[in-house]
Amino acid sequence: MKLKLKKVFTNWKVILLLIFLVLAIFSMRPQILGNDGVTIRSVAQNSSAANAGIENPSAKVVPVAKEKIISINGKKIIDLVDYYAELNQLAVNRSVRIETNRDIYNIRTTQEANLGLTVYNAPTSNIRKGLDLEGGTRVLLKPEEKISDEDLELTIDNLKERLNVYGLSDIVIRAASDLRGDKFILIEIAGVTEDEVKELLSKQGKFEAKIGNETVFYGGKNDITYVCRSADCSGINPNVGCSGSDGGYACQFFFAITLSPAAAERQADLTRNLKVLTEENEGYLSDDIVLLLDDIEVDRLRIGASLKGRATTDIQISGSGVGRTQEEAVTDSLQNMKKLQTVIITGSLPVKLEVVKMDTISPSLGKEFLNNVLLVGLLVILSVVTVVVARYRKIKVVVPMILTLLSEIVLILGFAALVGWNLDLAAIAGIIIVVGTGVDHLIIITDETLMGELIYDWKKKIKNAMFIVIGAYLTTMAGMLPLLWAGAGLLKGFALTTIAGISFGVLIARPAFAAVIEILLKE
Amino acid sequence: MKSKIKSIYEHKYKSLLFIPFVVLILAFVQIGTQYSVTGDFVNKGISLKGGSTITIDYDAKINLDELESFLSNQFPLADFSIRTISSAGRTTSIAIDSDAQENDEIDILLGVIKEHTKLNDDAYTVETMGSSLGDSFFKQTAIALLIAFFLMGIVVLIYFRTIVPSMAVILAAFSDIVVTLAIFNLTGIKLSTAGIAAFLMLIGYSVDTDILLSTRLLKRKGEIMSKVYGAMKTGLTMSTTTLSAVFVALIFVQSDVIKQIMIILFIGLLVDILMTWIQNVGILRLYLEKKKR
């Protein structure tokens, strides 16, 4: 027996399976040592937390690595209950010391019991839970007229920009299309109520530039006919460049825009009566031009003195970015530039969007679902074990079968964590299905090797079994592929988990099982 | 008794073939009747027809009939239907379906429901689907189903390289889906987008058993009936494990979405037993007999 076990673990198919399993567990990074703390989901702009330097988390960071609060004023924070208990005690204009896994921040409160942070219990692994399990809002938008792919991308950028303005960064916005070629935009925001999303979407996306409370121009093609994005008229300002010292660097960016004649006239009217101030050998006008998105100020720029009273259609917009090194400063500048360009180009959305589907799931219900699904998963595995034990009654068969099934589940979950999929109910249904077909194929493989005709050639037996398995695999794939696009990809999660699951199964887990069976049962 | 059944199965397979075909014809009759009466060949739920579903936690104090008539009185033009969702024998939630699609309509409806049932502020779920999207989704997944069948046919033909057995596999899968659809219609449950996905899954499961059977009969040596019984042993083990898994999930799961998938799979797997072991076996035996001559 010992000899057989040694053979099992030195077989290349088994080793391959084990390598993938390790990779899967690594990408999931289950927090077995405890997940104390509350993770920051978003930081509201101009809030006391933002002013203290806490950054809005980037969507690209994996859940386990996101910044989380571990203590407030020295008191350890384990979960949301602790957090809110501490938060509710905070009065206005107090100093609060917040320690996260990255840094320590000293915040001066500007409101009672509100730091401008939304938080959630620190995740136990890198698996991202979809809306159905976490609660949140999902909206499917359809442009009211046909638009090009480029315009669709612009709309998506604009929506992202606006959502970031509101401090929401844990969001998924993507383009989707269905089999008919219709285009959609899918927005999924976790942990946010329906009201907040409706408020966001009902706004037209008003962009304005004002000088001294009068509007100079609005965003969109009417007032701004061209925004330069190419290297010859945008980028880091070659005349000013970057400057700085060991304390920090700053760079200046610029990009050219062209106003419509009407907008140029308005600008001339509004600047005619302004005074000129001179600062560091440059002349600026006494009022700034303020850029507003949905009535919230996004930027404020000085107006060059040469523009006073002149109706010029060609204008240069400049701004700056900072960083600790020159490289950081350059990156920051270019990012600010892109942000500004997006806001100006698409000041109002290029096309009106219609809400064709909206789902709101409350977080408490989401958690209930998750617990229920885990329970059902366990019961399903138990029922499969029962039938298999009743039929085969051989430990050498039953144990490898159960281990193979469990491996398949681990592989799918690891893959989902790696790729950053959100697991929703449909995806979980997909996992249940994969376990179902997994069992079927393992039974086929087992029976081919145990029964059948008197072939002593094991290679041939396994080959026969895999013939059937692969045939079934290809047909199921054929069934799942159209689902990737059908109906604006609403069942995409289901199709993807099923395709990934059966592929991992057929290519890695089940051949390993066949090898193990061969070694253990060969006399 | 057992030997009598065995004898009928072994010798009277040509007459036994009538059963699956009669069932298939009855299924077509059901679907045809459904179509002429309702205009659709399946009962469409909110996600396919358009409308909204508000789901709240079940409270025994709420009288469902009274709630439904109260809502119908308040909003006489809307089309309401209330159903319950249960898990492990216990009712866990109440689902209120209506054809309200606009956000403001739904808000008003939600407000009324909250007040009437003294609901906790955020213990509810709302799902809306615009009717044009639901419609296009339904049509597209129907197309997806056809494409799946077509691709499956190609795969099977490449595998077996003979027409009759390949057609038998496709016929079995096709019958499986049609009969399951008819039975599903009879339950009165309304089909959702997830349910359509379940039908696509059914193709996969159905094909598993048919390819197993065909491979064993065509590509192995030995006496026909022993091959059939061998394949049956494997095939029934497969069906039993999947059926028990699906059955357990069906009873214990709380989610409406997963429940519907499991119901369709459960019915489909049972129908598959009929179609594989009587219809497919019958056709293959006829084919092999003709080949011998």
In this complex, the residue of B152, B200, B215 whose CB is nearest that of residue A483 is B200
Q: What is the pLDDT of residues A111-131, one digit of tens each?
A: 777 777 777 777 777 777 777
Instruction: Answer yes or no: do A452 and B257 touch at CB < 8 A.
Output: no
The per-residue pLDDT for A454 is 46
Instruction: Answer yes or no: do A383 and B137 touch at CB < 8 A.
Output: no
Closest CA to B140 of A176, A489, A429: A489
Q: What is the pLDDT of residues A226-276, one digit of tens each?
A: 777 777 788 887 877 788 776 778 888 888 888 888 888 888 888 888 888
* CB contact residues (below 8 A), chain B span 153-212, against chain A: 155-156, 159, 193-194, 197, 200-201, 203-205, 207-208, 211-212
Find all residues with CB under 8 Å of B165, minimum gap 6, and list them. Answer: B214, B217, B218, B283, B284, B287
Instruction: Answer yes or no: do A365 and B201 touch at CB < 8 A.
Output: no
Provide the strand spans (E) within A362-459.
Answer: 422-423
Residue B29 pLDDT level (bands cut at 50, 70, 90): very high
| Other CB atoms within 10 A of residue A215 CB | 14
Please tell me if residue B240 touches chain A, with a CB cutoff of 8 Å: yes
Spatial contact of A458 and B164, defined as CB atoms under 8 Å apart: no
- CA dihedral A263→A266→A267→A270, nearest 10 degrees, is -160
- Sort out which chain A residues have CB atoms less than 8 A from B258's CB and list them: 373, 376, 425, 428-429, 432
Cα–Cα distances in Å, from A189 out to A64, A359, B246? 19, 11, 32
The per-residue pLDDT for A45 is 63
Please tell me if residue B16 touches chain A, with a CB cutoff of 8 Å: no
Residue B182 pLDDT level (bands cut at 50, 70, 90): very high
Is residue A433 classed as helix, strand or coil in its secondary structure? helix
Number of H helices, E strands in chain B: 12, 4
Between these two residues, A6 and A404, which has the higher pLDDT value?
A404
Between these two residues, A91 and A170, which has the higher pLDDT value?
A91
Closest CA to B43 of B249, B272, B196, B215: B196
The mean pLDDT of chain B is 83
Task: Find the mean pLDDT for residues A146-169.
Answer: 71
Distance between CA B172 and CA B166 in Å, rounded? 10
Spatial contact of A8 and A393, defined as CB atoms under 8 Å apart: no
pTM equals 0.73
Residue A137, phi then psi, degrees to nearest 5: -130, 140
* CB contact residues (below 8 A), chain A span 195-224, against chain B: 198
Residue A143 has pLDDT above 60, yes or no: yes
Nearest-5° angle of CA A138, CA B127, CA B113?
A: 130
Residue B26 pLDDT level (bands cut at 50, 70, 90): very high
Residue of A nearest to B122 (CA): A362
Q: What percent of chain A has pLDDT over 90?
A: 1
> Minimal Cα–Cα distance from B43 to chain A, Å?
19
Spatial contact of A137 and A358, defined as CB atoms under 8 Å apart: yes
Residue A351, phi then psi, degrees to nearest 5: -150, 150
Q: What is the pLDDT of residues A386-437, one digit of tens each?
A: 988 998 888 888 889 989 989 998 998 888 888 777 777 777 777 877 887 7
Instruction: Answer yes or no: do B253 and A376 touch at CB < 8 A.
Output: yes
Residue A187, phi then psi, degrees to nearest 5: -120, 130
Residue A453 pLDDT level (bands cut at 50, 70, 90): very low
In this complex, the residue of A359, A384, A472 whose CB is nearest that of residue B211 is A472
Residue A370 pLDDT level (bands cut at 50, 70, 90): confident
Task: Find the mean pLDDT for residues A23-52.
Answer: 78
Cα–Cα distances in Å, from A257 out to A340, A346, B147? 12, 13, 50
Please tell me if residue B229 touches chain A, with a CB cutoff of 8 Å: no
- Sort out which chain B residues have CB atoms less than 8 A from A385's CB and list them: none
One DSSP character per residue, A280-328 reads: TTEEEESS-EEEEETTEEEEEE--BGGGTT---SEEEEEEEEEESSHHH
Task: Find the mean pLDDT for residues A356-382.
Answer: 79
Is residue A183 classed as helix, strand or coil in its secondary structure? strand
Helices (H), A393-422: 395-419
The per-residue pLDDT for A488 is 59
Task: Find the mean pLDDT for residues B45-52.
Answer: 78
Distance between CA A379 and CA B245 in Å, rounded? 8
Residue B172 has pLDDT above 80, yes or no: yes
Indicate left, alpha or beta for A289 from its phi (over 0: left) and psi (-120 to 50: alpha).
Answer: beta
Most confident of A309-318, A486-495, B122-131, B153-162: B153-162
Residue B23 pLDDT level (bands cut at 50, 70, 90): very high
Please tell me if residue A371 touches chain B, with a CB cutoff of 8 Å: no
The per-residue pLDDT for B175 is 93
> Minimal Cα–Cα distance from B157 to chain A, Å?
11
The mean pLDDT of chain A is 78
> Minimal Cα–Cα distance from A379 to chain B, Å?
7
Find all residues with CB under 8 Å of A260, minimum gap 6, and list them. Answer: A217, A222, A223, A224, A225, A313
Distance between CA B16 and CA A175 in Å, rounded? 53
One DSSP character per residue, A323-357 reads: ESSHHHHHHHHHHHHHHHHHHHHTSS-SS-EEEEE
Closest CA to A492 of B269, B137, B44, B265: B137
In terms of Cβ atoms closer than 10 Å to its own Cβ (0-12, 13-18, 19+), residue B15 is exposed
User: Number of residue pairs across A and B with CB atoms under 8 Å?
Assistant: 221
Task: Find the mean pLDDT for residues A430-445.
Answer: 82
Instruction: Answer yes or no: do A358 and B201 touch at CB < 8 A.
Output: no
The per-residue pLDDT for A192 is 61
* CB contact residues (below 8 A), chain A span 411-430, against chain B: 425-426, 428-429
Element (H, E) at A31: none
The per-residue pLDDT for B205 is 84
| Other CB atoms within 10 A of residue A416 CB | 25
Find all residues with CB under 8 Å of B236, minimum gap 6, and list them. Answer: B273
Indicate left, alpha or beta for B188 from its phi (over 0: left) and psi (-120 to 50: alpha).
Answer: left
Spatial contact of A185 and A141, defined as CB atoms under 8 Å apart: yes
Between these two residues, A84 and A406, which has the higher pLDDT value?
A406
Q: What percent of chain B has pLDDT over 70?
A: 98
Residue B212 has pLDDT above 70, yes or no: yes
Spatial contact of A256 and A285, defined as CB atoms under 8 Å apart: no
Distance between CA B76 and CA B96 in Å, rounded? 15
- Sort out which chain A residues have CB atoms less than 8 A from B215's CB and list them: 464, 467-468, 471
DSSP 8-state code for residue B119: -
Cα–Cα distances in Å, from A342 out to A229, A270, A298, A335? 10, 25, 12, 11
Closest CA to A98 of A72, A68, A78, A70: A72
Residue A348 has pLDDT above 60, yes or no: no
Distance between CA A343 and CA B165 in Å, rounded? 62
Please tell me if residue B261 touches chain A, with a CB cutoff of 8 Å: yes
Cα–Cα distances in Å, from A407 out to A93, A301, A517, B239, B267? 54, 58, 16, 22, 29
Indicate left, alpha or beta for B39 from its phi (over 0: left) and psi (-120 to 50: alpha).
Answer: left
Q: What is the pLDDT of residues B74-93, one digit of tens each?
A: 777 777 778 777 777 777 77
Q: What is the pLDDT of residues B227-272, one digit of tens each?
A: 888 889 889 988 998 898 889 888 888 877 788 889 999 999 999 9
Please tell me if residue A442 touches chain B, with a CB cutoff of 8 Å: no
In this complex, the residue of B143, B230, B244 whose CB is nearest that of residue A387 is B244
Find all residues with CB under 8 Å of A276, minimum gap 6, and list them. Answer: A283, A284, A285, A286, A305, A308
The per-residue pLDDT for B263 is 93
Spatial contact of A352 and A144, defined as CB atoms under 8 Å apart: yes
Task: Find the mean pLDDT for residues B22-48.
Answer: 87
- Sort out which chain B residues have CB atoms less than 8 A from A453's CB and list them: 220-222
